[in-house]
Amino acid sequence: MAPKPKPKEPAKPPAKADAAKDPAKGPDPAKGPDPAKGPDPAKGAAKPPKKSIFQKIPPKFIAWCIFTLTILLFILFIILLVLYLQLALAKRNPAEAKLVILRKSMSRGLKNPKLKHANHARVAQDVVQLPKYIVDSNNDYNERKAKYQIIYRKGKLRSAETWQIFEKNIYYISNTEKTWFDAENYCKIRDSHLASILNEKEQFFIGNLFGQPAWIGLTDENVEGDWVWSDGSLVLTKFWAQGHPRTHENGTNMDCAFINPSLGKNNWNDADCFELKKWVCKESLDNDNDYPLGQTRPMPEL
């Protein structure tokens, strides 16, 4: 008899199905963790990526920093713009353009072989010193300006008195009479002296101030015959009337001079210093003299 065939064994289900049916066995280690169940708690959770330093800064802080930097840059721009405008609008020294032209001319001249430059080094040195000359000139101008401002204020104060201006001098015309010495002291108290007459124009001006004799600052009190001005000026010209000066008359010394307008151009006379006459004071406004403002020339001893 033929042998009977063996019955077929049922097919085994997949391992996944077995794992699902048998939780005790767990997932197949060859296939990895089951995504449906999530990560294996025994192995730990996955680590997130590290953040950079800039990512850790709050966005509000970054915005604040950018805003502050913008404000600072804007302020800096305004400051630079103001400085530029100040430089652009600043008044330049009028000699600066001429100095630039001079330097360019010298540069072209020194490059020209046809020109002789025997003293070019000296000229160049003078050009270098020009800015210093300009500074010194400006300082001198400011000093003179200050002096003239003082003189102007002094003139306003004296405008109430009988002072008149002629060229670089101011003159006081008296209304009363004094001796020569008292008149000189009157003038000295007012920072002036009895008038000195140094040229024909001044002689004509003072001669027309009075209609009667008036003392001027000429005297030979110290040395007989040596006539000097009380303000220390040099006797540059003389307008003595005919027969004057005299040494004495009737035993009286004639040591002081006065002007007598009725005699015409040459109208200087000498007389006793103690006679009473009108007088004229004179103060120089010329700042080129050697005497500081407010001081007068030394008066000769009388």
CA distance 144 to 62: 63
What mean pLDDT is predicted for residues 3-7? Answer: 57
Write down the pLDDT at residue 211: 84
Q: Which residue has the higher pLDDT, 194 or 163?
A: 194
Most confidently modeled of 143-147, 222-226, 270-274? 270-274
Q: For 169, phi and psi rounded to 5 degrees?
A: -135, 155
CA distance 99 to 85: 24
Burial of 291: CB neighbours in 10 Å, binned 0-12, 13-18, 19+: middle
Strand 228-229 and strand 248-249: the pairing is unpaired
Write down the pLDDT at residue 301: 35
pLDDT digits (tens, 9 = 90+) for 51-106: 677 677 788 888 899 999 999 999 999 999 999 988 888 777 767 777 788 888 77
Q: Which residue has the higher pLDDT, 51 or 283?
A: 283
Q: Which long-range contacts (CB under 8 A, 24 or more apart) does 244-251 make?
A: 244/268, 244/269, 244/270, 245/220, 245/270, 246/270
What mean pLDDT is predicted for residues 108-134? Answer: 70
Q: What is the pTM of this model?
A: 0.47
Task: Show the CA angle centred on residue 259, arms to residues 255 and 261, nearest 5°.
Answer: 155
Paired with 115 in beta bridges are none
Residue pair 245/270 in contact (Cβ under 8 Å)? The answer is: yes
Position 202 pLDDT exceeds 60 = yes
Of 230, 229, 263, which Cα lies nearest the Cα of 244? 263
Position 265 pLDDT exceeds 50 = yes
Position 214 pLDDT exceeds 60 = yes
DSSP characters for 121-171? HHHHHHHHHHHHHHHHHHHHHHHHHHHHHHHHHHHHHHTTSSEEEETTEEE
Query: Within 10 Å of residue 156's Cβ, how many Cβ atoms?
Result: 9
pLDDT digits (tens, 9 = 90+) for 19-35: 444 544 555 555 555 55
Q: Which two tokens stand for residue 207?
A: 């001669």
Helices 120-158/94-111 angle, 10° precision: 170
